[in-house]
Amino acid sequence: MTAAFTFPGQGSQAVGMGKALADAFPAARAIFDEVDSALGEKLTGVIWDGPAETLQLTENAQPALMAVSLATLRVLEAEAGVSLGRDVAYVAGHSLGEYSALPAAGSLTVSDAARLLRTRGLAMQKAVPVGVGAMAALLGLDYEAAVEVAAAAAEGQVCEAANDNGGGQVVVSGDKAAVERATEIAKTRGAKRAMMLPVSAPFHCRLMQPAADIMAAALAKVTIKPPVVPLVSNVVARALTDPDEIRRRLVEQVTGTVRWRESVGYMAEQGVTRFFEIGAGKVLSGLVRRIADGAVGIAVGGPNDIAGVKDALTAARAV
């Protein structure tokens, strides 16, 4: 098997995402109905009709993106004959995308994933008062250089590498003043660009510890089964199958670095050449091409993408 299914993170959301799938395929509509039922509200109304500022709220964007990813997967299973156990070597998700990867692989129920993401989004938003924390993207520096920039900028505050996305793109997170210093220092150390990001909280750094504590309690209450294919974890950039370790790493993920470059590199080293991005957007597909030489990133998010996946996987099975 030379394929992996990857699942996007926050920032890929857009009003109207997934509606064409739900209109065309009952399997997709069933996922949206299940998420609405789990949350006790009509999240699909926000996903499809907006307004955008409501969808972008962390507590809405996270379960919404999971719903679109799982709806896409269910259509692939129903219409293209996709079977994860047969066709896919690994699943992986960028940050909240791990909560899409796990129900995709049978580790979590869709309902539990939706409720966990609502809890996660609220907890991450409340962990740090608005305006206290910030995040910035440093472009054109490798990970080691970005870590050095963050350390130099901290000056007793928190400034840490939050996302190692690959292709010379590293995001730093922490106290606002420290992150602002990081953007200036990065420019003096060769960064092509260094820009503050329009986010409402400093994700994936030590300031998120209150949210990690809440998620530890929430995750302790749900059943996690062994995945039908291994999950490549954000925080360790290797494959996991043990439910207890998956649970522990999901807690660590709240404050830990998203090691996406290493995760994709790990899968490529194991022979993966096709990375299918399941759900909204094309961010991860673009990153794949910068990380792994010869690998192909394929975004799958609409009705017109389904047949292409079927053909690609059929060809892969014949190899």
Indicate which residues carry an active-site annotation: 95, 204
Question: Which has the closest alpha carbon to 113: 70, 56, 55, 57?
Answer: 70
Query: Taking a C-beta distance cutoff of 8 angstroms, is the pair 212, 255 a contact?
Result: yes
Which single residue is written with the structure tokens 């409402």? 200
Which single residue is written with the structure tokens 């309902």? 111
CB atoms within 10 A of CB 189: 15
Which single residue is written with the structure tokens 């996690």? 224
Residue 241's alpha-carbon distances to 73, 108, 151, 232, 235, in angstroms, are: 20, 13, 34, 9, 14
Rounded to whole angstroms, the Cα distance separating 253 from 155 reads: 25
Query: Taking a C-beta distance cutoff of 8 angstroms, is the pair 297, 288 a contact?
Result: yes
- Phi first, then psi: give them for residue 82, nearest 5 degrees: -70, 135
Question: Which has the closest alpha carbon to 199: 82, 297, 56?
Answer: 56
Residue type, 33: D
Query: Taking a C-beta distance cutoff of 8 angstroms, is the pair 291, 261 a contact?
Result: yes
Question: Which has the closest alpha carbon to 9: 77, 58, 74?
Answer: 58
Question: Which has the closest alpha carbon to 128: 221, 255, 301?
Answer: 255
Query: Taking a C-beta distance cutoff of 8 angstroms, is the pair 259, 163 a contact?
Result: no
Q: Is the peptide bond before 51 cis (omega within 30 degrees of 0)?
A: yes
